Amino acid sequence: MTLPKAFDERIRIQLGDEYEDYIKCFDSDMYHGIRVNTSKISVEDFLKISPFELEPVPWTKNGFYYDHRKYTPSKHPYYYAGLYYIQEPSAMTPASVLDIEDGDVVLDICAAPGGKSTELAAKLNGTGILISNDISNSRAKALLKNLELFGIGNMCVVSEPPNNLSKAFEGTFDKILIDAPCSGEGMFRKSSSMMTAWENNGTELFAGLQRGILNEACKMLKPGGKLLYSTCTFSPEEDERSVEYLLSIDDSMHLVDFPKYEKFDDGNPAWGETGNPELVKCSRLWPHHVKGEGHFIALFEKDQDDSYRGNSTYSFKSYRPDEDFIAFIKHVSESAGIKTDRIEENNGRLYYISEGMPDVKGLRLLRHGLFLGEVKKNRFEPSQSLAMYLKSDQFDNVVSFLADDIRVIKYLKGETVELEDDQDIENGYVLVCVDGYPLGWAKNNRGVLKNKYLSGWRMMS
């Protein structure tokens, strides 16, 4: 392993006596983790059914290390049931540090592919709204899939540059997360291509991008709101100095403390330009101090402002529920919280819009609200996202297979599946589950389940 020369020279000075310890990290493998989706299953219940031996990540209560030589969590049916997200352990820190309260309106500006958004959404626990944005449309598609897999309905997925967001969302958010594009020095062990990218781009390019994003983010935060800034790099220019930049452009923003795991380092005032002692409130995770690849985190709060008057909310296009949809929704329990007066129709596609959705008019949207399904000629076809959103006791026609039943894999591969004689399931739409956790839809015809699993989500091998 050869580090980029300019990086090696800088990190040698930055780390001093610790340089050799840092370099030794490259002799061992990176850490692998999963984070439990607490909006679907409690950590306690997951540990009872976990197919993997797990070791807790000490700074995140729902994060665990697994041995990647023994297990492939992305191939297990519980992955398809959205029970966990596969995430590098230090990357679990930002969303765990940002305290989310019920009813919060939250923005994740650089969200794809959704490692942090899925946790922010789980922490909202079905209340409030999450707006998840990524400037890259193709990456935003992966973000949407991950949020849907997690069963999230109170969300909107957007693909816009931050200056367009700030025109629409001035003073809108209780919480904002900026997991900024960065030079990725904490990813060197994961992939040597990150070193090549570092050599090509350096740190300045990203420092510029970060300042642009921070500038727009401040405008969108409500008075009293909190903003979390994170990178997966160690460069002072992108870490302490980006923090100093934000403090310099908006004097209503100040750094706040957050609980730190004992092996996290404090931010270093000496690595800033101003020497601001407040920078110790930030945190840097070094791979030679913690079992993770590395991250930097800063938490800000905006001062209260008595003149604040709120922002506009979503304006509905009215929809008169179609008969086929009404016939279907009768099978869904009221506890799922889908109110027919908050449904919007667009070319036959129905969306449930949660309360508190901000006005998203004019933005490039990949999804607003929960996609319920499509009204086609004389029938309603429920969506994959609705199946993932529901709990198994919220639909009145359910079949649940054990995780090791071969029919689970067949179902996930898109094949037809047969019920056993003693499985008394009504004809029509069935919510197919693994160990009681929904995977998708099928249509039962006298014991034969016609597969309705979303084709783009099928298990490949």
Ligand X SMILES: C[S@@+](CC[C@H](N)C(=O)[O-])C[C@H]1O[C@@H](n2cnc3c(N)ncnc32)[C@H](O)[C@@H]1O
Q: C-beta of 182: minimal distance to ligand X in Å?
A: 6
Please report, for residues 88, 225, 294, the alpha-carbon distance to residue 187 in angstroms, rounded to integers and kept in the order given: 10, 30, 8
Q: Is 113 annotated as a binding residue?
A: yes
Q: Is 115 annotated as a binding residue?
A: yes
Where on the chain is the footprint of ligand X (CB under 6 A)?
A: 91, 109-116, 134-136, 139, 161-162, 179, 181, 209, 213
Residue closer to ligand X, measured from CB, 83 or 109: 109
Q: Are 66 and 13 in contact (CB under 8 A)?
A: no
Tell me if residue 282 is catalytic: no
- Quick one: tokens of 75? 């191939």
Residue closer to ligand X, measured from CB, 184 or 382: 184
User: Which amino acid, residue 430?
Assistant: V
User: Which amino acid, residue 150?
Assistant: F
Residue showing the smallest CB distance to ligand X in the complex = 115
Q: Is 403 annotated as a binding residue?
A: no
- Catalytic pick among 156, 182, 218, 232: 232
Q: C-beta of 349: minimal distance to ligand X in Å?
A: 26
Residue 452, SS3? coil
Q: Is 40 annotated as a binding residue?
A: no
Alpha carbons 148 and 371: distance in angstroms, whole number: 9
Q: Is 179 annotated as a binding residue?
A: yes
Q: C-beta of 150: minimal distance to ligand X in Å?
A: 12
Q: Are 370 and 386 in contact (CB under 8 A)?
A: yes
Q: Are 34 and 82 in contact (CB under 8 A)?
A: no
Q: C-beta of 330: minimal distance to ligand X in Å?
A: 38
CA count, 13 A, side-chain hemisphere, 265? 17
The kind and range of the H/E element at 223 are strand 221-231
Q: C-beta of 173: minimal distance to ligand X in Å?
A: 15
What is the full DSSP assignment across 155-195?
Answer: EEEE---HHHHHHH-TT-EEEEEEE-----GGGTTT-THHH
Residue closer to ligand X, measured from CB, 95 or 247: 95
Q: Is 112 annotated as a binding residue?
A: yes
- Quick one: tokens of 85? 């997200």
What amino acid positions are annotated as catalytic residues?
Answer: 232
Q: Point out the annotated binding site.
A: 110-116, 134, 179
Q: Point out the annotated binding site for S-adenosyl-L-methionine.
A: 110-116, 134, 179
